[in-house]
């Protein structure tokens, strides 16, 4: 990754070389496991990203009618379209009809409600809560206490034992119980647990979706992944889907920013940038310091890098460089491809980053820019007289 000073900042850049490398890894692991590879577009719906992804995946695991429409319009071709969400409205099913290949409902009550609205070609799955937690932060743990996500597996086993008809019309299962995991041991533990608690239900269905939540690029060994998939494929004859998001796109995205002011505050030098944590909302949500190109531990020149909004906590953290920053210096935030623009907002009216793509030959294209008109449209437009 290099800084070029060619871009209008703040800029979000997708590097297609990195994207294609990470997609090739996912494709390879999916093929080795004989698993269908879906992409979960909640991580990034940039058109440049989707154009690359569509060539490598078997389908898309959407979360909402907007994602479905976008994928349907942009690039679906022969790829399968899946919908998984705690809220599925019958209008959505009416609008998508036969074009929806797989639907995963979150609860048996949603299924009762939607049963008559599903078109016959749509295969319906039920989200399971495998009741195994691996995520320390409860906000991101689908198996937390009082979870809203999926039917607890032990409860499902009891319900089906009393009344097997509760699963009428259900031909698949879905689970997703990790976040940024690099250890497929968690997935294997989950697969074994599901196998031991609901073997009869696994024999009744045709497919299982094992979710996302794993950083394939950070893993050193895929054996546990292959074994987990084999439990379902070989043990129960199921078609297996995986639906990563971040693993496909996190590394290919960077945010570039310019330093606009530098001043002292208590014992630190503040550098104000033309970006904000609101362009990278997970930085604020998780309170982590994002990687910045050129930062070196113990570097001679240290700064608190800060965003440009009024929020006191709009800061990225403390960074050191071997050369001093000056007004006009450029900085690059690394590993920003996932859950960045899809969660970004315009707090304080600060425009969203301008979007670029770096092609395989190194050339840069501007592919999109925010505008005052889009900002104003969200406020109700400028045609309303404010007396």
Ligand X SMILES: Cc1ncc(COP(=O)(O)O)c(C=O)c1O
Residues that bind ligand X (CB under 6 A): 40, 42-43, 61, 84, 176, 179, 211-213, 243-247
Provide the greatest CA pair distance for the chain. 71
Give residue for tokens 């074009």.
99
**Separation CA 381–CA 253 (nearest Å):** 32
**Separation CA 241–CA 247 (nearest Å):** 15
Residue 174, SS3 per DSSP: strand
Q: Which of 100-137 are b and which e, b meaning 16 or more Cβ less than 10 Å from the residue's Cβ? A: bbbbbbbebebbeebeebbeeebbbbbbbbbbbbbbee
Strand partners, 240: 208
Closer of 42 and 251 to ligand X (Cβ) = 42
Q: How far is the CB of 324 from ligand X (least distance, A)?
A: 37
Closer of 179 and 306 to ligand X (Cβ) = 179
Closer of 38 and 257 to ligand X (Cβ) = 38
Q: How far is the CB of 253 from ligand X (least distance, A)?
A: 13
Closer of 195 and 342 to ligand X (Cβ) = 342
Closer of 49 and 325 to ligand X (Cβ) = 49
Q: How far is the CB of 286 from ligand X (least distance, A)?
A: 13
Closer of 243 and 274 to ligand X (Cβ) = 243
Q: How far is the CB of 343 from ligand X (least distance, A)?
A: 11
Tokens of 55: 């060539």
**Separation CA 243–CA 225 (nearest Å):** 13
Please give the C-alpha separations between residue 151 and each of 57, 110, 199, in angstroms, as whole numbers: 28, 11, 16
* Cβ atoms of residues 323 and 352 within 8 Å: no
- Who's near 18: CB < 8 A, 6+ residues apart? 251, 252
Residue 11, SS3 per DSSP: strand
* Cβ atoms of residues 229 and 24 within 8 Å: no
Q: How far is the CB of 49 from ligand X (least distance, A)?
A: 13
Closer of 10 and 142 to ligand X (Cβ) = 142
Closer of 42 and 295 to ligand X (Cβ) = 42
Q: How far is the CB of 61 from ligand X (least distance, A)?
A: 6
Residue 365, SS3 per DSSP: strand
Q: How far is the CB of 156 from ligand X (least distance, A)?
A: 17
* Cβ atoms of residues 149 and 135 within 8 Å: no
Residue 171, SS3 per DSSP: coil
Q: How far is the CB of 215 from ligand X (least distance, A)?
A: 8
């Amino acid at each position: 990754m290099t800084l070029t000073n060619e871009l209008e900042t703040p800029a979000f850049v997708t590097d297609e070389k990195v994207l294609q490398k990470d997609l090739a890894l996912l494709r390879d692991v999916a093929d080795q496991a004989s698993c269908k590879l879906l992409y979960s577009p909640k991580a990034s719906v940039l058109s440049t990203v989707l154009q690359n992804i569509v060539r490598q995946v078997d389908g898309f695991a959407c979360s909402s009618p907007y994602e479905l429409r976008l994928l349907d319009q942009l690039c679906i071709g022969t790829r399968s379209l899946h919908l998984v969400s705690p809220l599925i409205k019958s209008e959505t099913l009416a609008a998508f009809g036969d074009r929806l290949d797989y639907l995963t409902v979150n609860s048996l009550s949603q299924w009762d409600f939607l049963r008559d609205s599903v078109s016959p070609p749509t295969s319906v799955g039920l989200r399971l809560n495998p009741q195994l937690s691996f995520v320390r932060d409860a906000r991101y743990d689908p198996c937390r206490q009082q979870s809203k996500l999926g039917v607890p597996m032990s409860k499902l086993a009891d319900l089906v034992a009393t009344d097997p008809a509760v699963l009428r019309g259900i031909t698949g299962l879905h689970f997703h119980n990790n976040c940024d995991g690099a250890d497929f041991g968690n997935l294997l533990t989950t697969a074994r647990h599901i196998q031991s608690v609901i073997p009869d239900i696994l024999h009744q269905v045709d497919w299982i979706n094992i979710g996302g939540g794993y950083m394939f690029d950070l893993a050193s060994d895929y054996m546990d992944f292959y074994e987990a998939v084999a439990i379902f494929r070989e043990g129960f004859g199921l078609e297996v889907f995986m639906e990563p998001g971040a693993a496909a796109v996190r590394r290919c995205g960077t945010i570039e920013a310019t330093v606009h002011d530098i001043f002292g505050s208590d014992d630190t030098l503040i550098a104000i940038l033309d970006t904000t944590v609101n362009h990278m909302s997970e930085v604020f949500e998780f309170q982590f310091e994002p990687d910045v190109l050129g930062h070196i531990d113990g570097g001679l020149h240290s700064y608190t890098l800060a965003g440009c909004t009024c929020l006191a906590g709009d800061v990225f953290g403390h960074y050191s460089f071997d050369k001093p920053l000056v007004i006009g210096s450029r900085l690059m935030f690394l590993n920003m491809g996932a859950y960045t623009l899809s969660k970004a907002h315009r707090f304080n009216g600060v425009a969203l980053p301008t979007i670029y793509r770096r092609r395989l030959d190194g050339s840069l294209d501007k592919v999109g820019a925010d505008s005052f008109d889009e900002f104003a449209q969200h406020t109700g437009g400028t045609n309303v007289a404010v007396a």
